[in-house]
């Protein structure tokens, strides 16, 4: 009489545990308490009629607020005070929104300026020609680059200035400038050779010829636009 054999347990694959949703933080935007508190003193300064005169619409609202306040004091009524409060709130919040926008603009300009000054470049020393090997390089600040300089940029490095690709082909991340997340291809000898300072090379190696004078780059124009 044969005895039954015990079969080995069947190995069950590990069941994948469901991923827990990660916590996402949503920015406060205009209603960020810290930003509002920081911008409130500037909003109060903008109540000066000499400053408000530069904004004709809000200047008229401020004058109307002052007249309704005088009228409400002379002939007090619920309607008069409600109108007065609403007009003053309109003026204050308009100034506050403008102060917040100016604060963000200054912060963005500071970030762009820091990007320009902190970027280093691998400048080619001496004469350079396509296909040349064994070139000497020196590391300098991006602000020291001049028109006609050649710089070497490899994967993971930031392009130090506006220029044209004269050797090589690479994918470039231009999201810092254009906001487009998809990388673009930049190569020498074609319509897609222009590169912008502040963008990042994602792959390969390129040689870039600087085509803009200091202070006239795309980032410099962006800083002037944001500050204005």
Strand order in the sheet with 205-210: 136-141, 120-125, 150-154, 205-210, 163-167, 194-195
Q: What is the pTM (predicted TM-score) of this model?
A: 0.56
Domains along the chain with CATH numbers: 30-116 (no CATH), 120-227 (2.70.150.10)
Of 4, 9, 95, the closest CA to residue 44 belongs to: 95
pLDDT confidence of residue 197: 85
Return per-residue pLDDT of the chain as tens, 228 residues. 444 444 444 444 444 444 444 443 434 455 567 766 777 777 778 888 888 888 888 888 889 989 999 999 998 899 989 999 999 999 888 888 888 888 777 777 777 777 777 788 889 888 777 777 777 888 888 888 888 889 999 998 888 888 999 998 999 998 877 777 888 999 888 788 889 888 889 988 899 999 888 777 887 787 777 766
């Amino acid at each position: 009489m044969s005895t039954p054999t015990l079969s080995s347990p069947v190995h069950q694959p590990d069941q994948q545990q469901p991923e827990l949703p990660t916590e996402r933080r949503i920015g406060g935007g205009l209603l960020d308490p810290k930003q509002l508190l920081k911008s409130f003193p500037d909003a109060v300064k903008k109540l000066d009629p000499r400053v408000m005169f530069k904004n004709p619409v809000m200047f008229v609202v401020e004058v109307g607020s002052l007249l309704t306040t005088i009228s409400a004091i002379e002939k007090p009524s619920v309607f008069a005070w409600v109108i007065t409060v609403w007009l003053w709130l309109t003026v204050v919040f308009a100034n506050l929104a403008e102060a917040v926008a100016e604060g963000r603009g200054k912060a963005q300009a500071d970030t762009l300026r820091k990007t320009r000054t902190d970027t280093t470049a691998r400048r080619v020393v001496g004469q350079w020609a396509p296909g040349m090997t064994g070139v000497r390089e020196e590391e300098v600040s991006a602000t020291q680059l001049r028109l006609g300089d050649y710089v070497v940029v490899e994967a993971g490095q930031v392009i130090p200035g506006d220029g044209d690709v004269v050797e090589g082909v690479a994918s470039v991340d231009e999201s810092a400038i254009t906001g487009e997340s998809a990388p673009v291809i930049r190569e020498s000898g074609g319509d897609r050779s222009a590169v912008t300072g502040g963008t990042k090379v994602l792959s390969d190696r390129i040689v870039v010829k600087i085509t803009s004078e200091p202070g006239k780059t795309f980032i410099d124009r962006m800083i002037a636009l944001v500050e204005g």
